[in-house]
Structure 1
Amino acid sequence: MFQSFDAKTDPAQGRERLPRLRQWLAEHRLDGFLVPRADEHQGEYVPPCSERLRWLTGFTGSAGAAVILADKALLFVDGRYTLQAREQADPSLFTIESLVDLPPDKWMRLHLTRGTRIGFDPWLHTIGEAERLADSAKEKGAELVALDRNPIDLLWKDRPELPLEPAEIHPAEYAGELAADKLRRLADAVREAGATFTVLTDPSSLAWAFNIRGHDVPHTPLALGFAVIAADGAHRLFMDERKLSIEVKAYLTQLADLFQPDRLEPELVALAKSGAAIGLDPVLAADRLRQLVEENGGKYIALSDPARLPRATKNEAEIAGTRTAHRRDGAAMTKFLAWLDRQQPGSLDEIGAATAL
């Protein structure tokens, strides 16, 4: 079934894990740590190995964050999850705050004290978000400290492996445009922005640009990875080759040089040292990428993901596919509503209805 209703969490887990995190922070001269729901790609849905907020707090919602200090721990959620957060996270350990009205950067501006050192994983915060957090800390005389390793990853002994679901080629008849032509458009956009490269960090942009699909995260057909788009057409794709069949690998090697994901940092460092101007989307790209560029002599250019607008502009083949999907889904919904109308009032709950659908 597409949807699962298993909770797979326990409010009691924070009672053992929170002290271990605080001990690690104390040993590394840190007063606090930020735990976002995000992964390295800033997607709404993340693979099990990136469920750090769930591991620490028990909260399973798709949006949230935590601020952990020596004497308090706060869990920030939006209005969808207020009741759920109080059920899944131990209220004696975590104070629930509003992610909308008082997000972590605003909370820090109000409550941090001078000299406080707050650690964060720069892979899990966008450039823009890290700037806001740093500004809030600076305003209070505190310091935002970028960490080389995420302490939760070190403490999470049974952390799942990275997903290795097979990537697939999205047929041109459904895409409506060859990947080679899309990549030429992206290269032109990079050149026109005054950059030599840009990094695509959003797997949706990779899916569109390379005409590929995958199964690495729930609910969306994405293959996780990164791409460096070059103004001169010498593109690089960073994706675990264990996901690639012989056919898919042969297809992708016609479009870009293939690298394992752990080669992204050294490749970006090499480009920066060569003096490259590298575009990064401050809303999407991890702050770690900006650090690598600026610390190694490269020029960081704030550049919106050049694939976002093109992939939102549907061609005739994509529009036809959308119409086909709507007809198919509409027929299924009509059958479901007819079935629902035949059920005895009070005999069905929400999960039962969703299961039938």
Structure 2
Amino acid sequence: MYQRFDDTTSPEQGPPRLRALRQEMADKGFDGFLIPRADAHQGEYVAPADDRLAWLTGFTGSAGFCAALRDVAGVFIDGRYTVQVKAQVALDQFTPVPWPSNKPGPWLKEHLPQTHKMAYDPWLHTSAEVDAITQAGVTLVPSPNLVDRIWHDRPAPPMGKVIAHPLELSGEAHGDKRARLAAGLAEAGHSAAVLTLPDSIAWLLNIRGSDISRNPVPHCFAILHADATVDLFIAAPKLNEIGDHLGADIRIHAPDAFLPALAALKGQVGVDTSSAPAIVSQTITAEVVAIDDPCVLPKACKNPVEIDGTRRAHLRDAQAMVKFLAWLDAQKPGLTEIEVVSALEGFRRDTNALRDISFETIAGAGPHGAIVHYRCTESTNRAVQDGELLLVDSGGQYVDGTTDITRTVVMGTPTREQCECYTLVLQGMIALAMARFPRGVAGRDLDALARAPLWRNGLDFDHGTGHGVGSYLCVHEGPARISRQSEVPLKPGMILSDEPGYYREGAFGIRIENLIVVQEAPPLGDNRDQLSFETLTFVPFDRRLIAVDMLSPLERRWIDAYHAEIAQKLDIQGPARDWLEAATKAL
């Protein structure tokens, strides 16, 4: 899944707001100010009140930051946003900077005067980020947020209600989770651990929220103590509908009590410096010990109840997808991207189980498919022309699971080149899905499997092959990924995406995505300790785009078996069933 490209740049964005920020910098004696995409919880998705990067620059990508200096403003973006940033920012005022090939520390050192003060909001940057920049010789000064001072109509913070996530869906009571994690803290000699990630707190306490669009998490902070009690810092009205779910071991405090509580902690306090805002470590007067968020790994390793729920959610979601694809196949060229998005979201709502879509639906026709983070709007809305590819990346949030699926289809008759590129991507997806690997292998060790068919033909894609997925939580979840940057060993119960792609700027984009879950590998050979993947997604591929002559016998058998399983699992009647039977016929 990748967030959609949005061209909602306002005439007020860019130069006027940048001038106002520079005036504020000058008034405070600063030579620059850092504006990240992240909020205080370091989330990929932010509430409107925290969308400072988009407000200032117009850039709406889900990762990146701006370094606004007196005479240059660099917008740091990774390879996913090379096209998008050019369309969204005023290029005469903002300079796109490839990242992470350009590190912020050296870049700032080069562009700042020798004697300088670079300001940052310590709520919005982690200690690790601050340390990396200061080690490059840049002087960083904590400051109240300068963007907030000029953002006079800034929206209010979100106040979404919190609900309980019951035991029949979570699979483990929050008291048992707290006891398990607290025992680990006590064994390590830690008196407490500070939790700042909303999905970690939601998982630990078996709650879900609605503060962030598409992500069922509440904005809050927490302190888990070694005696398994928790101090929860959250606006009290959010809890009005939760009843006695939390119990006496969870002490509720207002958000503004968080910093005083940190200052009062004793003993060794665990802080995840890679995700907690820098102000956390700066406020704690006790001994700070850098640890991984204790919730992240247990949350990623889904228990059997969560996996069963996810299976149900995917079958429900697959029925909606098949009905959508059958409808789409009956349309004539000229169907617009917005019509595609509206129709697909309608089929998901028709399940009567959808709580929300899991991210903004991507529907990229023709050249728009090559923009990895494309988002269709009224001004960019494009009709799918005869012979063009349509890339559709979407997902749903259900109380029993989170889904994420991409299918690329053709409108009309494809060219041989389109089929060849599609088949290379499909071969990479199948290679990863079929992988068996020793316990201890990480995502970086498997990433090449999905790229090898493309590499052999001089092609590649500029995003990770897969990300973790939550259980009725965030559609992007750590710590594991299928990526050259991921060193986290894969463990049973981890749900990941398998989504290689290929993008030709100005022409087309192809991505094929299934979700997979790590499992104990069935016995084979000398029965070594190995893991494998179970496929969770059951939606046919576009047969018209498969160049069958490029497939190995093993790949053909895999596709035929996958399609046969789809036809067997999905209980669909009527015209959609006729379409499904044709779509899943053996190659």
TM-score by length of 1: 0.91
1:235 aligns with 2:230: yes
Q: Is the CA contact (8 Å cut-off) linking 2:5 and 2:84 kept in structure 1?
A: no
Q: Is the CA contact (8 Å cut-off) linking 1:76 and 1:103 kept in structure 2?
A: no
Q: Which residue identity is paired with 1:217?
A: I
Equivalent position SS for 1:45: coil
Distance (whole Å) between structure 1 residues aligned to residue 250 and residue 222 of structure 2: 9
Q: Which residue identity is paired with 1:29?
A: G
Q: Is the CA contact (8 Å cut-off) linking 1:11 and 1:90 kept in structure 2?
A: no
Equivalent in 292, 306, 318 of residue 304 of structure 1: 292
What is the CA distance between 1:285 and its match in structure 2?
Answer: 0.8
Q: Which residue identity is paired with 2:275?
A: L
The answer for the alignment partner of 2:31 in structure 1 is: 31
Q: Is the CA contact (8 Å cut-off) linking 2:6 and 2:60 kept in structure 1?
A: no
Distance (whole Å) between structure 2 residues aligned to residue 255 and residue 321 of structure 1: 28
Q: Against the structure 1 CA distance between its residues 258 and 77, is the aligned structure 2 distance closer, same or farther, given a 3 Å change threshold?
A: same
Distance (whole Å) between structure 1 residues aligned to residue 60 and residue 325 of structure 2: 30
What is the CA distance between 1:8 and its match in structure 2?
Answer: 4.1
The answer for the alignment partner of 2:207 in structure 1 is: 212
Equivalent in 258, 263, 267 of residue 257 of structure 2: 263
Q: Which residue identity is paired with 2:127?
A: I
Note the 1:49-198 alignment, pairs <5 A: 49-136=49-136, 138=137, 142-147=138-143, 149-198=144-193
Distance (whole Å) between structure 2 residues aligned to residue 316 and residue 191 of structure 1: 27
What is the CA distance between 1:356 and its match in structure 2?
Answer: 1.3
Equivalent position SS for 2:135: helix
The answer for the alignment partner of 2:323 in structure 1 is: 335
Q: Against the structure 1 CA distance between its residues 317 and 67, is the aligned structure 2 distance closer, same or farther, given a 3 Å change threshold?
A: same
Q: Is the CA contact (8 Å cut-off) linking 2:53 and 2:59 kept in structure 1?
A: yes
Q: Which residue identity is paired with 1:228?
A: I
Where does structure 1 lack aligned partners over 5 or more consecutive residues? Answer: none
Q: Is the CA contact (8 Å cut-off) linking 1:198 and 1:280 kept in structure 2?
A: yes
Equivalent position SS for 1:250: coil
What is the CA distance between 1:106 and its match in structure 2?
Answer: 3.8
Q: CA offsets per residue over residues 247-289 of structure 1, 9 Å max, x none?
A: 5153224331000111100111111xxx431110121111110
Equivalent in 341, 363, 372 of residue 354 of structure 1: 341
1:288 aligns with 2:288: no
- The alignment yields a C-alpha RMSD, in angstroms, of 1.7
Equivalent position SS for 1:318: helix
Q: Which residue identity is paired with 1:31?
A: D
Equivalent position SS for 1:13: coil
Distance (whole Å) between structure 1 residues aligned to residue 11 and residue 246 of structure 2: 44
Q: Is the CA contact (8 Å cut-off) linking 1:165 and 1:214 kept in structure 2?
A: yes
Q: Is the CA contact (8 Å cut-off) linking 1:12 and 1:90 kept in structure 2?
A: no
Q: Which residue identity is paired with 1:151?
A: L
Identical columns (%): 44
Distance (whole Å) between structure 1 residues aligned to residue 247 and residue 259 of structure 2: 20
Q: Against the structure 1 CA distance between its residues 38 and 280, is the aligned structure 2 distance closer, same or farther, given a 3 Å change threshold?
A: same
Q: Against the structure 1 CA distance between its residues 249 and 288, is the aligned structure 2 distance closer, same or farther, given a 3 Å change threshold?
A: farther
What is the CA distance between 1:82 and its match in structure 2?
Answer: 2.1
Equivalent position SS for 2:288: strand
The answer for the alignment partner of 1:319 in structure 2 is: 307
Q: CA offsets per residue over residues 116-146 of structure 1, 9 Å max, x none?
A: 211011111112111101112x2xxx41111
Q: Which has the higher contact order (CA 8 A, sep 6+)?
A: 1
The answer for the alignment partner of 1:252 in structure 2 is: 246
What is the CA distance between 1:108 and its match in structure 2?
Answer: 2.2
Q: Is the CA contact (8 Å cut-off) linking 1:11 and 1:87 kept in structure 2?
A: no
What is the CA distance between 1:86 and its match in structure 2?
Answer: 1.8
More helix by share: 1
Q: Against the structure 1 CA distance between its residues 122 and 185, is the aligned structure 2 distance closer, same or farther, given a 3 Å change threshold?
A: same
Q: Which residue identity is paired with 2:147?
A: I
Q: Is the CA contact (8 Å cut-off) linking 2:31 and 2:112 kept in structure 1?
A: no
Distance (whole Å) between structure 1 residues aligned to residue 152 and residue 210 of structure 2: 25
Q: Is the CA contact (8 Å cut-off) linking 1:11 and 1:88 kept in structure 2?
A: no
Distance (whole Å) between structure 2 residues aligned to residue 329 and residue 40 of structure 1: 33
Distance (whole Å) between structure 2 residues aligned to residue 278 and residue 15 of structure 1: 44
Q: Which residue identity is paired with 2:245?
A: Y
What is the CA distance between 1:7 and its match in structure 2?
Answer: 4.7
Name the larger-Rg structure: 2
What is the CA distance between 1:169 and its match in structure 2?
Answer: 0.3
Q: Against the structure 1 CA distance between its residues 81 and 281, is the aligned structure 2 distance closer, same or farther, given a 3 Å change threshold?
A: same
38-47 vs 250-259, greater mean Cα deviation:
250-259
331-340 vs 95-104, greater mean Cα deviation:
95-104
Distance (whole Å) between structure 1 residues aligned to residue 299 and residue 129 of structure 2: 24
TM-score by length of 2: 0.56
What is the CA distance between 1:5 and its match in structure 2?
Answer: 8.4
Q: Is the CA contact (8 Å cut-off) linking 2:69 and 2:112 kept in structure 1?
A: no
Q: Which residue identity is paired with 2:139?
A: E
Q: Which residue identity is paired with 1:241?
A: A
What is the CA distance between 1:207 and its match in structure 2?
Answer: 1.0
Distance (whole Å) between structure 2 residues aligned to residue 230 and residue 253 of structure 1: 15
Q: Is the CA contact (8 Å cut-off) linking 2:163 and 2:208 kept in structure 1?
A: yes
Distance (whole Å) between structure 2 residues aligned to residue 354 and residue 212 of structure 1: 30
Distance (whole Å) between structure 1 residues aligned to residue 243 and residue 128 of structure 2: 35
Distance (whole Å) between structure 2 residues aligned to residue 242 and residue 329 of structure 1: 33
Equivalent position SS for 2:140: strand
Equivalent position SS for 1:252: coil
The answer for the alignment partner of 2:400 in structure 1 is: none
Q: Is the CA contact (8 Å cut-off) linking 1:278 and 1:301 kept in structure 2?
A: yes
Distance (whole Å) between structure 2 residues aligned to residue 16 and residue 279 of structure 1: 43
Distance (whole Å) between structure 2 residues aligned to residue 167 and residue 231 of structure 1: 25
What is the CA distance between 1:109 and its match in structure 2?
Answer: 4.2
Q: Which residue identity is paired with 1:146?
A: P
Distance (whole Å) between structure 2 residues aligned to residue 95 and residue 352 of structure 1: 35
Distance (whole Å) between structure 1 residues aligned to residue 280 and residue 270 of structure 2: 10
What is the CA distance between 1:35 and its match in structure 2?
Answer: 0.5
Distance (whole Å) between structure 2 residues aligned to residue 310 and residue 154 of structure 1: 40
